[in-house]
Structures are given as C-alpha cells and as structure tokens.
C-alpha cells in the first residue's frame, strides 16, 4: 500500500491493480469495480477527513439505521475518455447539488462541495486506466450516503458514511426498450420523495417491474398516483415523446426526478430549433397520437441509459408499435450529447469538466 495526504485527504493506493483480470469486452453493467473508493464519515456533528482507500467491503453494525429506516440516497455519473486519452466528467456540479437536495429530504447532512469535487477528481484520476476509449465505453460513478449510526429507534441518524465507487461500463440497454404504461402501481405521490434519488424509490419499483418483465417488457412508464392519467417517468429514465416534430416531456415536480440528461436534451433541442414542450402529457393524448400516426417516437434519457429508444408500449389490453424514423430524434440527440461527453465537439454550455492528471 502507498499512503499520502493530498488536499487534506488521506489517500492509500493498491500495490497492484486488478484491471488485467477484467474482460472489458463482455463486461456486465455495474458488476465490476475499480481498485479504489472514496469515503468520508459524519460524526460528532461534522464531516471528518475524506479518504481514498483500496476498494473493500464495509463493516456495519446490524443496527445501523440504514438497514431499518432506509436513510440512503445516491447519484449516477459517468466519466468519458476522448481520443487523446483525456478524461471528462459531465455536469458534475449538477450531481453534487442534486445529492444534497436528496439528502436534505431524507434528513441527511449535506456534503461539502470541496470534499465532493476534490475527492471525485482524485478518485477518477487514480482510475483513469479503467476508462476505455470508444463510443459507449465509460466509467460509471456512484456517489452515495448511508446512515451508519447503530440504533433502531425511529429517528434520523447522527452518523453517516458518504462514498464514491466506480464501475467500468458499456451500454445499459442493448437495442430498443419495450414499456408498459402504469395503471395500478405508483412510483411516487405528491409530497413524497419522488424527486430525490432515494434508495427506497427504486426498491419499491422492483416488484411491479418484475410483473411486466414476465410479459416481455423491460420498463414501466409511471403515471400520476391520483388518476393514472398522466405519464411521468420510467424506472431508470425520464421520458420524451415526439408528436409530429415536437418533443413533449413531463415537468419536474416532487414526484419526478430532475434528470441531468433530461435537462441537457431540453437545452440541446432549443439549441437546434427543435420544438419542445415541458407540460403534463396524458396517456389519452399519446394513445390517440399513436393511433392517428402523429406519435413518431418515445425515448428515455438518463445517466446509465443515455438515450434509449422505445420500440413499443402497452396500456391495458392495447399495444402500440412505433415505426423506425429516418430522422430519429433519439439518434440525433444521443449523438449531440455523446459528442459533447467524449470531447468531439464544442461545449458551449461548459458542461464538460476535465479531470486533471
């Protein structure tokens, strides 16, 4: 092990990387992890000295509050390598801001910006060999925070652990995605935690999603909990609908995640004179558009999924297939987005942040 203190951060590196044991060509999403991890504990009312250490298991008391009351939030980010071997992050401050918004909603202390950005940069610099060049290749980055205080009384914890781990990845979905419009189950409700990246939001989706997967579908597009009449977002993606040449997407709210890829696509649409409407989108409207031929595309957006075209959808007993579009908006926006992320084009919104060596 090699030890150092850099920018008030304790860094311990591995003697030998495990990278040569990884088959990058057949890697499964989120199954392999890099050599190091970042961690920082909250104790005695403040965040302690951040650390980067070799990737290793955690030891937690069985009474750690995260196991009993679900105080856990996370983020999803990616780092990309360009043709010159430089490494880039995409809108990292947005992820920092959002994890603190999520944390606040779950009574978790906000994490210091300097710790987050410095720790993230130092960790990614250590792991830059894990980031492979080429379209679709990236390093998926998972910041998260959990309640570690050993106590099972039903109250907020006083001790937490903030961590960042990394996983080399390829595409999340291969090919197009089939979806079901929700009618019975709900993802979130007014006044709840739908806008936060809370761990429990995803756990609650697994059962209804497993039901539609048995029918051959991959995801649910969730509808509003009150009426199930308005389309909101999918399990791992925000959703866009192309009706004629206009993009439609639901507005963010306390039920819908403020997706960073979603925001980027909305801005790219404006940059390229594509009409975009951020407004409630009804199931009835989309079904009618599918029947009269004006619904051209549906696609999802998210850090893991990037831009994922949807091939067909089901609502009740009705199914609808979407035809291939020669001027596909999904293809267009995916290229615009990835050209920025991989440093292939101008970044006029300063979304790209270089990881310095």
Helical (H) or strand (E) element with 126: helix 113-126
Give the pLDDT confidence score for residue 171 in this predicted structure.
Answer: 74
Give the pLDDT confidence score for residue 105 in this predicted structure.
Answer: 97
Give the pLDDT confidence score for residue 3 in this predicted structure.
Answer: 75
Crossing angle for the helix pair 260-271 and 329-341, to the nearest 10 degrees? 110
Give the pLDDT confidence score for residue 172 in this predicted structure.
Answer: 66
Domain 177-341 has CATH 3.20.10.10: yes
Nearest-angstrom CA–CA distance, 108 and 198? 11
Can you read off the two tokens belonging to residue 233? 């977002």
Q: Which residues pair with 210 in a beta bridge?
A: none
Give the pLDDT confidence score for residue 1 in this predicted structure.
Answer: 64
The CA-based angle 353-240-220, given to 5 degrees, is: 105
Pick the CATH number of 2-169 from 2.60.120.330, 3.30.470.10, 3.40.50.720, 3.40.50.920: 3.30.470.10
Beta-carbon contacts of 183 under 8 Å, excluding residues fewer than 6 positions away, are 223, 228, 315, 316
Give the pLDDT confidence score for residue 235 in this predicted structure.
Answer: 82
2-169 and 177-341 share one fold = no
Nearest-angstrom CA–CA distance, 76 and 74? 7
Beta-carbon contacts of 246 under 8 Å, excluding residues fewer than 6 positions away, are 275, 276, 277
pLDDT in tens, the chain (357 residues): 677 776 789 999 999 999 999 999 899 899 999 999 999 999 999 999 999 999 999 999 999 999 999 999 999 999 999 999 999 999 999 999 999 999 999 999 999 999 999 999 999 999 999 999 999 999 999 999 999 999 999 999 999 999 999 999 987 667 789 999 999 999 998 999 999 999 999 999 999 999 999 999 999 999 999 999 999 999 889 999 999 999 999 999 999 999 999 999 999 999 999 999 999 999 999 999 999 999 999 999 999 878 999 999 999 999 999 999 999 999 999 999 999 999 999 999 999 999 998
Can you read off the two tokens belonging to residue 116? 């987050």
| Domain residue ranges of the chain, discontinuous segments joined by + | 2-169, 177-341
């Amino acid at each position: 092990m090699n030890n150092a203190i850099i920018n008030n951060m304790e860094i311990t590196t591995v003697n030998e990387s495990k990278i040569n044991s990884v088959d990058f060509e057949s890697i499964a999403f989120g199954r392999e992890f890099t050599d190091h991890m970042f961690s920082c504990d909250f104790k005695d009312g403040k965040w302690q000295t951040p650390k980067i250490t070799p990737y290793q298991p955690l030891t937690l008391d069985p009474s750690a509050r995260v196991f009993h009351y679900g105080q856990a939030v996370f983020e999803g980010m990616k780092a990309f390598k360009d043709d010159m071997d430089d490494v880039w992050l995409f809108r990292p401050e947005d992820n920092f801001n959002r994890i603190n918004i999520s944390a606040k909603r779950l009574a978790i202390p906000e994490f210091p910006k300097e710790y987050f950005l410095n720790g993230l940069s130092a960790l990614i610099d250590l792991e830059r060999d894990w980031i492979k060049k080429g379209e679709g290749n990236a390093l998926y980055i998972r910041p998260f925070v959990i309640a570690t205080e050993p106590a099972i009384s039903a109250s907020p914890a006083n001790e937490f652990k903030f961590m960042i781990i990394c996983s080399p990845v390829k595409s999340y979905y291969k090919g197009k995605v089939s979806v079901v419009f929700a009618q019975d189950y709900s993802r979130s409700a007014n006044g709840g935690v739908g806008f936060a990246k809370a761990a429990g939001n995803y756990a609650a989706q697994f059962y209804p999603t497993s039901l539609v997967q048995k029918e051959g579908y991959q995801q649910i597009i969730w509808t509003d909990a009150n009426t199930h009449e308005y389309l909101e977002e999918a399990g791992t993606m925000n959703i866009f609908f192309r009706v004629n040449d206009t993009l439609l997407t639901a507005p963010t709210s306390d039920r819908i995640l403020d997706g960073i890829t979603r925001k980027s696509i909305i801005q790219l649409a404006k940059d390229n004179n594509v009409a975009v409407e951020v407004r409630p989108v009804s199931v009835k409207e989309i079904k009618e558009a599918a029947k009269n031929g004006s619904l051209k595309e549906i696609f999802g957006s998210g850090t893991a999924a990037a831009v994922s075209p949807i091939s067909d959808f089901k609502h009740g007993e009705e199914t609808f297939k979407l035809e291939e579009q020669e001027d596909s908006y999904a293809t267009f926006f995916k290229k615009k987005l990835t050209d920025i992320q991989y440093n292939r084009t101008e970044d006029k919104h300063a979304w790209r942040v270089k990881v310095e060596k």
